[in-house]
Homo-oligomer: A and B are copies of this chain.
Amino acid sequence: MTINQEFRDVLREEGMRHTWQRQAVWDEIKSNDEHRDADDIFICLKQAGYPISRATVYRTIDVLVSHGLVRKLDIGEGRMRLEHKLDSHHHDHLICENCGRIIEFISPEIEALQSKISSAHGFALTHHVHQLFGRCLSYPDCDYYRSQNR
């Protein structure tokens, strides 16, 4: 997997150029595990003093996605959340509609059932989207938790 390879080398292998812009976007996305969107990344880089443009951020994200370094997460907000794919296995998401917290979950049972359903319908499964929406009941910093416990 390209994950542990130098970013510079990953690009070179595909005959793509290494630019500070691409490095900066990749570094920024890698730097934390929140599910930020393209504009968050753009703003962080701007604030850090990089003279980068929004277009480049979007284009770079597409490069990262097509190289399997980053995953786009569509939770129905009309914009894409981003997730780096370092050290992570496949997972799906629980999303708190109240505080926006996103929790990852893994369920081999569900994965197995998905395969079963797909083949039962004559489908060759390529990927899936599975998101559980609800409200935190156990996180003190979620407003909903607060409203339930006041």
Contact = CB atoms under 8 A, between A and B. Distances in A.
Contact of A118 (B76, B94, B123, B126): B94
Given A97-B126, A123-B94, A134 B105 contact: no
**Interface residues of A: mostly helix, strand, loop or mixed?**
strand
A122 B139 contact: yes
Nearest to A74: B76
A114 interface: yes
Contact of A129 (B107, B127, B130): B130
A64 interface: no
B122 A128 contact: no
Contacts of A136: 122-123
Contacts of A139: 122
Contact of A117 (B107, B125, B133): B107
Contact of A124 (B103, B107, B129, B135): B135
Interface of A: 74, 76, 94, 96-97, 103, 105, 107, 109-110, 113-114, 117-118, 121-139
The 8 closest A-B pairs by CB, nearest first: A122-B138, A123-B134, A125-B134, A129-B131, A122-B137, A124-B135, A128-B132, A126-B134
